[in-house]
Amino acid sequence: MRPSSDAPLDGERKTVTALFADIKGSMELMEDLDPEEARMIVDPALKLMIEAIHRYNGYVVQSTGDGIFALFGAPIAHEDHPQRALYAALRLQEQLGRYSNQLRSHGRLPLQARAGINTGEVVVRSLQTGAGHTEYTPIGHSTSLAARMQALAPVGSIAATDATRKSCEGYFTFKSLGRTVVKGVSEPVEVHEVVGLGPLRTRLQRAASRGLTKFVGRERELTAMKEGLELARAGHGQIVAAVGEPGVGKSRLFYEFKAIAQHNCLVLDALSVSHGKASAYLPVIELLKDYFQITSDDDERRRREKVAGKIMILDRTLEDSLPYLYALLEIQEENNPLGQIDTQVKRRRTLDTIKRILLRESLNQPLIVVFEDLHWIDGETQALLNLLADTIANARVLMLVNYRPEYRHEWGSRTYYVQLRLDPLGPESAAQMLMALLGESAALEPLKRLIIDKTEGNPFFMEEMVQALFEQGVLARNGVVTIAKPFTEARIPATVQDILASRIDRLGADEKALLQTLAILGKEFSLGLISRVAGQSEAELERMLSDLQLAEFIYEQPAFPEVEYTFKHALTQEVAYNSILSERRKQLHERAGHEIEALFGSQLENHLNDLAHHYSRSGNTPKAAEYLRRAGEQMIERSANPEAIAHFTAALELLKALPEDRERAQQEIGLELLRGGALGVAKGPGELEVKRAFSRARELAIQINDDTLLFQALAGFWYHHQLAGEV
């Protein structure tokens, strides 16, 4: 599959983090120096800045003579774009600091930069700049706000908006720089300086720092893990893998298991991060730090003592492994004994060293080694895992790994490998979780149902949605949770949006475009309609649909006479839908409407709602109103009067946007007559609302001088009066 960044897109809405960085005082520098000489000083600094951006997979939109503008989360979405931007900014400042010191030691003026960061929605457009080059330019207020932050940042520092701080609090530390007025923003904007790394590394740690939700369900999985541990204790090493989609609860399951299994075991944790593929051995290094209990405060001497001391106590024959451990843990040695060794040999021996230590340790007590998020690990760590998988069969080792479904490995056929597929929480567990989050108040039931419905039982999505509802002020907590404000729409929380968007962006460009078109069609769609709207050859389309099915975006469901598909997750549909530019959305809805008309011709009865939906989204008001009316009439035939009334009312609402001419008046009268009739049946003909509908119809009929319609309006009016006892 081609990554979407290769292909031209005509524009997309995306949530991104924008970063501006600028070398301070470069003008003065230029002024005092010969231009060529000045470039020799500034260019390496720019290179360092660009390198820092690329390290965290950012995209450099523009690099001017003395600054850069970069995006994280576009062209390809990353679920943690705000963190990546901050990591990059910190690295950028650190590298520039070093470079600046070098300059100073050569008697030059030091260089400093300021960086500004903001997170928000932009429209990203691609421009073909010839020779196969594509440039992406983001348009939107979000990026100007980032530029503004840069201008406000104290020299040598990083300033970020509150939006960025919110998603990164805990992973980084911030210092408030107060509020400031920014052009184009009505409220003063809060500015925060990014001071450095915070205490938290993973999302679960962050959740724990807020207070973990009461653990629910997962009994089967915990039992399987305990069995694995018992076997491992008895000397039959086991690999237990938990596989599941983002947020489904893999890390939490491990966390709960560790809490009950720790007894008489040694647990070692390897941590991995989403930008980890680029750093060799990162999880392994974390594992070793955990084992040797090295903290960030330990200086080099202390680290060396800890490592050597522990190895000597463990087993003196492992002494030869020390240089490899020192190298991994960045402990310098005089006349480095590994200096001359071939890198391949060194790699093999390094891996072997770690394996020997772990196996030796498992003789003292059972060992649980935890590797999380294998979908993010680097090649070296993967090699270590393979090596361990080959050797633990007869050791007292339980290897716990977890990963998302896209990751592949080769241990599947091992007899001592067990895979646990984590599905979203079932209705009962989901309800229990919401009870823990929101309490038991009956008034919250409809909202709870909506949350379960939307999130389909994914615990992370549920937590985030609840959190978002508190932030939007819909929910309030004072002792108990109450509804503070009527609930209008359920916006997707940014964190969830980012996860889903990054899944979508891993698709090929054409498949992604198809997915967006499908999102327009709705949660369910038939093959016939897709092929008309998507406008691709049948073979092409079938290939792409089957790719989307394989990647578990959509499901095929049995239907007659035609194949039908449905989105696996309603939220994915929503995210795909939201990424389409509004102009394009309109076009696609209009096309969908036309194609439904063309496809079903004279038998539109089963599609009136869809047609009304597409035409109202495409802005084709006359058609939307017409289909709403027909849908309402159909509801009357089926004696579903409340639904009928809702349709007529929606149609009347739409008509308000049309010019007040004769045609509109006729349509309006027709609708009021129908509405009045339906109201009469549903609520009783004597109701005031019935009277209002007919009197509005009468008034309009007089205005346009239409006797037939006037007669009908009067008949309705009479019907009301008679039954209201007003005649």
Rounded distance between C-alpha atoms, residue 16 and residue 33, angstroms: 38
Q: If contact means CB under 5 to 8 A according to the sort of partner, which of Mg ion, ligand ATP, none does residue 207 touch? A: ligand ATP
CB of 499 to Mg ion, least distance (A): 11
Do the beta carbons of residue 145 and residue 161 sit within 8 Å?
Answer: yes
CB of 166 to ligand ATP, least distance (A): 17
Binding site for Mg ion (CB under 5 A): 250-251
Output the residue with the shortest Cβ distance to ligand ATP: 249
User: Distance between alpha carbon 587 and the CA centroid of its chain, in Å?
Assistant: 26
Q: If contact means CB under 5 to 8 A according to the sort of partner, which of ligand ATP, Mg ion, none does residue 123 touch? A: none
Helix (H, G, I), strand (E, B) or coil at 332: coil
CB of 241 to ligand ATP, least distance (A): 13
CB of 401 to ligand ATP, least distance (A): 12
CB of 529 to ligand ATP, least distance (A): 34
CB of 342 to ligand ATP, least distance (A): 37
CB of 247 to Mg ion, least distance (A): 8
Q: If contact means CB under 5 to 8 A according to the sort of partner, which of ligand ATP, Mg ion, none does residue 213 touch? A: ligand ATP
CB of 245 to ligand ATP, least distance (A): 7
Rounded distance between C-alpha atoms, residue 462 and residue 207, angstroms: 13
Q: If contact means CB under 5 to 8 A according to the sort of partner, which of ligand ATP, Mg ion, none does residue 284 touch? A: none
Nearer to ligand ATP, 222 or 418 (CB): 222
Residue/partner pairs of 601-609 with CB below 8 Å, 24 or more apart: 604/630, 605/634, 608/634
Binding site for ligand ATP (CB under 6 A): 203-204, 207, 212-213, 215-218, 244, 246-252, 373, 404, 433, 459-460, 463
CB of 255 to ligand ATP, least distance (A): 7
Nearer to ligand ATP, 431 or 474 (CB): 431
Nearer to Mg ion, 378 or 706 (CB): 378
Rounded distance between C-alpha atoms, residue 680 and residue 659, angstroms: 29
Nearer to Mg ion, 324 or 376 (CB): 376
Q: At what angle do helices 509-521 and 570-578 cross, to 10 degrees?
A: 110
Bridging pattern class, strands 397-403 and 367-371: parallel
Nearer to Mg ion, 250 or 675 (CB): 250
Structure token pair of residue 650: 């929606």
Report how far apart, in Å, the C-alpha atoms of 94 and of each of 242, 277, 357, 525, 667 are.
38, 22, 35, 52, 68
Sign of CA dihedral 335, 336, 337, 340: negative
Nearer to Mg ion, 371 or 615 (CB): 371
CB of 422 to ligand ATP, least distance (A): 7
Q: If contact means CB under 5 to 8 A according to the sort of partner, which of ligand ATP, Mg ion, none does residue 393 touch? A: none
Rounded distance between C-alpha atoms, residue 446 and residue 483, angstroms: 11
Nearer to ligand ATP, 427 or 561 (CB): 427
Nearer to Mg ion, 250 or 569 (CB): 250
CB of 324 to ligand ATP, least distance (A): 30
Rounded distance between C-alpha atoms, residue 125 and residue 123, angstroms: 6
Report how far apart, in Å, the C-alpha atoms of 172 and of each of 87, 160, 196 are.
9, 12, 6
Rounded distance between C-alpha atoms, residue 641 and residue 651, angstroms: 15
Q: Which residues of 211-237 are buried (b: 16+ CB within 10 A; e: fewer)?
A: eebebbbbeebbebbeebbebbeeebb
Helix (H, G, I), strand (E, B) or coil at 40: helix
Q: If contact means CB under 5 to 8 A according to the sort of partner, which of Mg ion, ligand ATP, none does residue 691 touch? A: none
Q: If contact means CB under 5 to 8 A according to the sort of partner, which of ligand ATP, Mg ion, none does residue 246 touch? A: ligand ATP
Rounded distance between C-alpha atoms, residue 6 and residue 136, angstroms: 11
What is 566-608 written as a DSSP string? EES-HHHHHHHHHTS-HHHHHHHHHHHHHHHHHHHTT--GGGH
Q: At what angle do helices 445-455 and 427-438 cross, to 10 degrees?
A: 130
Do the beta carbons of residue 303 and residue 331 sit within 8 Å?
Answer: yes
Q: If contact means CB under 5 to 8 A according to the sort of partner, which of ligand ATP, Mg ion, none does residue 68 touch? A: none
Nearer to ligand ATP, 432 or 609 (CB): 432
Q: If contact means CB under 5 to 8 A according to the sort of partner, which of ligand ATP, Mg ion, none does residue 252 touch? A: ligand ATP
- Partners of 123 in the beta sheet? 13, 139
Q: If contact means CB under 5 to 8 A according to the sort of partner, which of ligand ATP, Mg ion, none does residue 12 touch? A: none
Task: Give residues with Cβ within 8 angstroms of 566, minimum separation 6.
Answer: 523, 524, 525, 554, 555, 557
Rounded distance between C-alpha atoms, residue 283 and residue 323, angstroms: 19
**Nearest in space to 124 (alpha carbons), one of 105, 108, 143:** 143
Nearer to Mg ion, 125 or 375 (CB): 375
CB of 72 to ligand ATP, least distance (A): 18
Nearer to ligand ATP, 169 or 590 (CB): 169
Nearer to Mg ion, 240 or 325 (CB): 240
Q: If contact means CB under 5 to 8 A according to the sort of partner, which of Mg ion, ligand ATP, none does residue 647 touch? A: none
Do the beta carbons of residue 152 and residue 159 sit within 8 Å?
Answer: yes
Output the residue with the shortest Cβ distance to Mg ion: 251
| Phi/psi-derived region of residue 76, left when phi > 0, alpha when psi is between -120 and 50, beta in every other case | beta
CB of 274 to ligand ATP, least distance (A): 9
CB of 104 to ligand ATP, least distance (A): 44
Q: If contact means CB under 5 to 8 A according to the sort of partner, which of Mg ion, ligand ATP, none does residue 459 touch? A: ligand ATP
Task: Give residues with Cβ within 8 angstroms of 143, minimum separation 6.
Answer: 18, 69, 118, 122
Nearer to ligand ATP, 248 or 645 (CB): 248
Bridging pattern class, strands 417-421 and 238-243: parallel
Nearer to ligand ATP, 204 or 709 (CB): 204
Q: If contact means CB under 5 to 8 A according to the sort of partner, which of ligand ATP, Mg ion, none does residue 244 touch? A: ligand ATP
User: Distance between alpha carbon 722 and the CA centroid of its chain, in Å?
Assistant: 60
CB of 378 to Mg ion, least distance (A): 17
Nearer to ligand ATP, 463 or 626 (CB): 463
Q: If contact means CB under 5 to 8 A according to the sort of partner, which of ligand ATP, Mg ion, none does residue 460 touch? A: ligand ATP
**Nearest in space to 695 (alpha carbons), one of 661, 672, 722:** 672
Rounded distance between C-alpha atoms, residue 77 and residue 75, angstroms: 6
Q: If contact means CB under 5 to 8 A according to the sort of partner, which of ligand ATP, Mg ion, none does residue 212 touch? A: ligand ATP
Do the beta carbons of residue 14 and residue 129 sit within 8 Å?
Answer: no
